[in-house]
Structure 1
Amino acid sequence: MRYALLAGALLAAACQSPETKDQTADTPPARDLHTLSNADSIRIRHLDLDIRVDFAAHRIEGSAAWHFANPDGLSVLRLDTDGLTIDSVTAGGRKVPHTLDSAVAFLGHRLNVPIEKSDTLVRIWYKTATTATALQWLEPAQTLGKKQPFLYTQSEPTYARTWIPGPDGPGIRFTYTARVTVPKDLMALMSAENPRQKNDSGVYHFRMDQPVPAYLMALGVGDVAYRAIDGRTGVYTEPAMLDRAHYEFAEVGKMVTTAEGLYGPYRWGVYDVLVLPPGFPLGGMENPRLTFATPTIIAGDRSLVSLIAHELAHSWSGNLVTNATWDDFWLNEGFTVYFERRIMEAMMGADYADMLWELGYQDMQETVNDLGKDSRDTWLKLDLKGRSAEDGLTDVAYEKGAHFLRRVEEEVGRQKIDSFLYKYFNSHAFKTMSTEQFLEYFNAELMKGDTALVSKIRVKDWVYGPGIPDNCPRVPQARFGKVDAEREKFLKGDAAGGLQTKGWTSHEWLHFLRKMPKPLQLAQMQQLDGAFRFTQTGNSEVANQWFIMSVAAGYKPAFGNMEKFLSEVGRRKFLTPLYSEMMKSPEGTAMARSIYGKYRGNYHPLAQETLDKIIKK
């Protein structure tokens, strides 16, 4: 059969199936070309971290102690670092010489530590660089409270090595404890067991007993407060935002229960959300036990909380079953998007989830168009050799991966795919998975040799082919159909104030604006703004789309609020298209460079890296 031949060829040199090989937490993963460590041979087990956060110097310093097993008796432990100053190293309690190899593009410097066969512990004393990619240091003026500084980390995909020397690959899992010292009027939080309130000492202790990869190491330090949502969920944020955030996330406890009803128990104890200051470059980051979230989802009407459903879903796909390498990133994000939409469907109804599917399809189309429909980067199975892992973090992994699972659902039925995913998550919990291993498992557990079914799904076209396959599923659009009708009325001359928009969610407004001709006439922009006050909206998704349209149309009444938006928001999803739109004209280019010059310092290093390429081209 076609699938069996495909799987056999692909797996000839691959690891054994997860059905025949026990992938325990300390079993080395398939070789990851984005780590310089030798964790494929030396089994990393546990990290003891002891660090101090120095806001004045914009530096973290302290020690990282790695517990490991060395079954092959190797003489060197190799770890990832990037920009770190290594002060000293001990192995088995002895001070030992260490070396740092020359920098490798996108990977940093390999740290080499000589060890003896009997050694099981290496401790490294180090300092971070002020330019560490994972760290964003915020001055008090960049926070909501304006009185205290703030620090947060962003370790995905390969930036943990800029603040912790260690094995930095998605398939390398370890448990950890940490002692973190911060200024006494601030609180520290990690992707671990967390405090609920500040203490008097400024010293916080953390424990993570479930094994996690380095990209899920996270630290946040600031003036934050906590409020419970229910017995196992809660929210942390700056005190001035706590009421709003608590209201926005009131359904998060129900989300966890809903997710468990789909694919099995939540295995991480508590599920809390830390709402960060505006400079956070992402929508959210699925750090175990403590999702980091952008404040741009605080819309006041709970209309953007599908992002929380997404980060929660990572507690199964990604955090529980982890992609072995960044080439397998779709196993993380594609599964999570599918799971997110199943959660939202269960909570909000199929017609609501259908809107999310359609907006996601639009995002996928735009990404494929940008990359090129024949681009190798539009395969689900990536090839990032010699490149930054960042290059693979596109909507292809998210949306093409999710639509593949939707395609499978259409062919096998919801009951079968749910049973398959339930078993997949639970039988591979705290293990890693490559694309090839997944396809073998998929064939054995779900396809069961049904060549006709394999032929209908066309697995090869999805996983090892470019673009969007022509059997990509499209969902019914009952609600967006009504939006399309109202947009058409407006474009044919009906007054904006007379359109039937009562009860529209953020998704309907976003679809309404996305499908407008670009540019609209100034008179049309004025009429829409007069009727719906888009320029003043507090909804970040709608605001961003409106400002893109305003730039294209030259609608200057929106420019003041647009600059304010760009001064406060650091999310790359919004910054990249908005600055890119400005760069399309001489007048817009001048405006983009002026605004970026003022607010670049408000953005995370990852956002700066992306925008520097856009603004300076």
Structure 2
Amino acid sequence: MNLKAGGTILKRAGAVLAALCALAVFAPLTGCQQTKSDTSVEAIVKATVDDHSYAKPQVARVNHIDVDLTADFAKKLFKGTATLTLTTEANAKQVILDVKALKIDKVTDASGAPLKYSIGKDDPMMGSALAIELPQGAQKIIVHYQTSADSAALQWLDPSQTAGKTRPFLFSQGQEIRTRTWIPTQDSPAIRQTYTARIVVPSDLSVVMAAKALTPKGEAVPGRASQRAYRFEMDQAIAPYLIAIAIGDIGFKELGPRTGVYAEKSMLDKSAYELEGMESLLTAAEKLYGPYRWGRYDVLVLPPSFPYGGMENPMVTFATPTILAGDRSLVSLIAHELAHSWSGNLVTNATWSDFWLNEGFTVYFENRIMEQVYGKDRADMLKVLGYQDLQKTLAETKPDFTRLHPNLKGIDPADYFSDIPYEKGAAFLRMLEAHFGRKKLDAYLKGYFERYAFESMTTDAFVADLRVHLLKNDGELEKQLKIQQWLYGPGLPDNVVVPTSPLLDKVTADAEGFAAGGDAAALKVDDYGTLQWVNFLRKLPAGLTVEQMAALDVRFDFSRSKNSEILFEWLQLSIKHRYEPALPMVETFLLSQGRNKFCKPLYQSLMEQPDWGVEMAKRVYAKARPGYHEMTRANVDKVVGTS
């Protein structure tokens, strides 16, 4: 087989697995059996087949894409071509791509000769298999296609939905399996691909992509004076979900030698002020886990309908404007997305059942960056708040979905999106830190990123690597640390390290004292920052009186907070206590942004108030839903319904 693309990690993992299985000294890995043939490279490849892709990369694998697309804002679609370069088995008869909500016009070979193709049955979650017949030795195919209004990856915004209010905007969100709704390719994180792009847009708009800009200001399109073309190149193989694009009235401001911020021009100065410290975050990250391998690290602040806090698209993080608190207090989100440049982008989960390898590592790494730049107190508070989130999620989640490595076959990977892969994954690494010490764990993690740079990783392969490079083949130590229970079992093992923060302990005492009858005016909060306020509001118990709520609001003006994290916690509290002066802000907040982290819980809280909240939730959502991204809509639909 000619399977060079993405094969190195599997060869390494195969060698380690073969050795471990032959020795039979450890509990078996998920894909590790007793026979020699089952530990071959081919067996490892087979064991890591992505259940969320139709592709058969062992036969024909996409390793490069050239897209040439024209954006039509009137029809809200892209039209053009995707030229795919393949690595194939000698006798490969076809290549299978993932497509969803795409109109395929034709498929040709490199010379333009038509190729036969078929589109399989549409699956609501996975879309369809696009099977293309390959002439003998064909290594390049061209798919002529256009997107549709049903593209889950693309959100086309009217001018009224933007900050500037004068020009339209488009952004993409490919994670987890949405890239197939705007690019026909093998949409699996195990099938890493390089790409180039030529994007044609109206001449008054700019294009940003998660790639090197070859024409930062665009270039003229012959015969089309009203349009400009932008060209990009990503020469490092990345997972398809990391291919990202934004189009709009976008400006740029440099923040440091390697860092800068993109935003709508009307938001640029505000965004640049908030993100001024990015270069110091990047420097701190490199000191921990090695050189930054992507050239530049920029951030694009998107319109408020963006469904995530941030998305770690390589070279250009896409971020929500809800981080713009005005006081630089929410930069931990940027530290998180920056950390993904190592854990997630450099070494990527091979399947969505391995998602914790992206997010758990990143939460741990984010906290280490924050400690380096802002000090231990702030890092400790972040750990405590994250652990609170984890405890809440564990209490609300079915046991199977509390595993770091769940079985997601037949399940939309978006349904696994929770604090489990994030915070339980980070807790696992903190347990290792507590046992081995930071120096030894840091050396292991730095080596891990070096060994598997620009490759994809499975949980089983990680365990094999961990056994050799950190556990030193000590089976008794593996049992003592409960590695199998951590990674494959539900809940939290009892050797979890519970984080603490003296600063938040004081805040908790303040909240309890106030709830017990204390005076809001007497609270000493001069040293409170965002993290303290979040903890204070979380620690206020049920049963507060309207008078107590009003006293807090008068003293601290929570209902008009410009800090999205504080406002969210206050609005949650206000719904539960039916604090009517804050309810108009609930509606305003839900209509002004579409971040799933805020929207879904607020609608849930409203729906838990049958005498008044259900009606409010349905009324507000009817107005807000058209402006939300598909991901947020899918989540809130399950809470409120779509009627």
Same fold (TM over 0.5): yes
How many residue pairs get aligned? The number is: 611
Say whether residues 1:315 and 2:341 are aligned partners. Answer: yes
Query: Alignment partner for residue 246 of structure 2, among 208, 217, 220?
Result: 220
User: Is residue 61–residue 95 contact of structure 2 (8 Å, CA) maintained in 1?
Assistant: no
Where does residue 611 of structure 1 map in the other structure? Answer: 636
Where does residue 626 of structure 2 map in the other structure? Answer: 601
Residues 524-535 of structure 1 aligned to structure 2 (within 5 Å): 524-535=548-559
SS, match of residue 476 in structure 1:
coil
Range moving further from structure 2, 224-233 or 97-106: 97-106
User: Is residue 44–residue 67 contact of structure 1 (8 Å, CA) maintained in 2?
Assistant: yes
Change (3 A) 1:251 1:477: same
Partners in 2 of 1:221 and 1:595 — Cα distance? 29
User: Is residue 148–residue 222 contact of structure 1 (8 Å, CA) maintained in 2?
Assistant: yes
Give CA-to-partner distance per residue, 1:258-306, whole Å, 9 cap, x none: 1000000000000000000000000000000010000001111111110
Partners in 1 of 2:266 and 2:124 — Cα distance? 42
Give CA-to-partner distance per residue, 1:339-378, whole Å, 9 cap, x none: 0001001111111111111111111111111113xx1111
Residue 105 of structure 1 and its aligned partner are, at CA, apart by: 4.0
Change (3 A) 1:7 1:311: farther
Query: Runs of 5+ in structure 1 lacking a partner?
Result: none
Say whether residues 1:471 and 2:498 are aligned partners. Answer: no
Residues 144-155 of structure 1 aligned to structure 2 (within 5 Å): 144-155=163-174
User: Is residue 411–residue 453 contact of structure 1 (8 Å, CA) maintained in 2?
Assistant: no
Where does residue 383 of structure 2 map in the other structure? Answer: 357
Change (3 A) 1:559 1:469: same
Residues 481-560 of structure 1 aligned to structure 2 (within 5 Å): 481-560=505-584
SS, match of residue 353 in structure 2:
helix
Change (3 A) 1:499 1:458: same
Say whether residues 1:295 and 2:313 are aligned partners. Answer: no
Residues 137-216 of structure 1 aligned to structure 2 (within 5 Å): 137-194=156-213, 196-197=216-217, 201-216=227-242
User: Is residue 15–residue 437 contact of structure 1 (8 Å, CA) maintained in 2?
Assistant: no
Say whether residues 1:43 and 2:61 are aligned partners. Answer: yes
Range moving further from structure 2, 5-14 or 237-246: 5-14
Partners in 2 of 1:246 and 1:175 — Cα distance? 30
Residue 95 of structure 1 and its aligned partner are, at CA, apart by: 0.8
Partners in 1 of 2:512 and 2:464 — Cα distance? 48
Counterpart residue type for residue 59 of structure 1: L
Query: Alignment partner for residue 66 of structure 1, among 76, 81, 84?
Result: 84
Residue 452 of structure 1 and its aligned partner are, at CA, apart by: 4.6
Residue 42 of structure 1 and its aligned partner are, at CA, apart by: 1.3
Query: Alignment partner for residue 423 of structure 1, among 419, 443, 447?
Result: 447
Query: Runs of 5+ in structure 2 lacking a partner?
Result: 1-19, 221-226
SS, match of residue 447 in structure 1:
coil
Where does residue 8 of structure 1 map in the other structure? Answer: 28
Where does residue 346 of structure 1 map in the other structure? Answer: 372
Counterpart residue type for residue 591 of structure 1: M
Partners in 1 of 2:182 and 2:607 — Cα distance? 34
Residue 125 of structure 1 and its aligned partner are, at CA, apart by: 0.5
Query: Alignment partner for residue 284 of structure 1, among 310, 316, 341?
Result: 310
Counterpart residue type for residue 237 of structure 1: A
User: Is residue 340–residue 358 contact of structure 2 (8 Å, CA) maintained in 1?
Assistant: yes
User: Is residue 387–residue 499 contact of structure 2 (8 Å, CA) maintained in 1?
Assistant: no
Counterpart residue type for residue 426 of structure 2: A
Residue 71 of structure 1 and its aligned partner are, at CA, apart by: 2.6
User: How large is the RMSD of aligned CA atoms in angstroms?
Assistant: 2.2
Residue 497 of structure 1 and its aligned partner are, at CA, apart by: 2.1
SS, match of residue 597 in structure 1:
helix
Query: Alignment partner for residue 435 of structure 1, among 434, 444, 459?
Result: 459
Normalised TM-score (structure 2): 0.92
Where does residue 50 of structure 2 map in the other structure? Answer: 32
User: Is residue 301–residue 319 contact of structure 2 (8 Å, CA) maintained in 1?
Assistant: yes
Counterpart residue type for residue 495 of structure 1: D
Where does residue 10 of structure 2 map in the other structure? Answer: none
Where does residue 224 of structure 2 map in the other structure? Answer: none
Where does residue 257 of structure 1 map in the other structure? Answer: 283
Counterpart residue type for residue 373 of structure 2: M
SS, match of residue 226 in structure 1:
strand
Where does residue 269 of structure 2 map in the other structure? Answer: 243
Range moving further from structure 2, 531-540 or 383-392: 383-392
Partners in 2 of 1:442 and 1:562 — Cα distance? 47
User: Is residue 258–residue 297 contact of structure 2 (8 Å, CA) maintained in 1?
Assistant: yes
Residue 198 of structure 1 and its aligned partner are, at CA, apart by: 6.2
Residue 97 of structure 1 and its aligned partner are, at CA, apart by: 2.2
SS, match of residue 439 in structure 1:
helix
Where does residue 592 of structure 1 map in the other structure? Answer: 617
Where does residue 134 of structure 1 map in the other structure? Answer: 153
Residue 20 of structure 1 and its aligned partner are, at CA, apart by: 10
Change (3 A) 1:98 1:20: closer
Range moving further from structure 2, 386-395 or 300-309: 386-395
Give CA-to-partner distance per residue, 1:30-82, whole Å, 9 cap, x none: 31111011223213221110001111101111100000121332111110000
Normalised TM-score (structure 1): 0.96
SS, match of residue 182 in structure 1:
strand
User: Is residue 107–residue 115 contact of structure 2 (8 Å, CA) maintained in 1?
Assistant: yes
User: Is residue 28–residue 172 contact of structure 1 (8 Å, CA) maintained in 2?
Assistant: no
Counterpart residue type for residue 576 of structure 1: K
Residue 613 of structure 1 and its aligned partner are, at CA, apart by: 1.3
Identical counterparts, % of pairs? 43
Residue 493 of structure 1 and its aligned partner are, at CA, apart by: 2.1
Partners in 2 of 1:256 and 1:206 — Cα distance? 23
Counterpart residue type for residue 348 of structure 2: T
Partners in 1 of 2:364 and 2:25 — Cα distance? 28
Partners in 1 of 2:637 and 2:540 — Cα distance? 29
Change (3 A) 1:127 1:423: same
Partners in 2 of 1:28 and 1:256 — Cα distance? 37
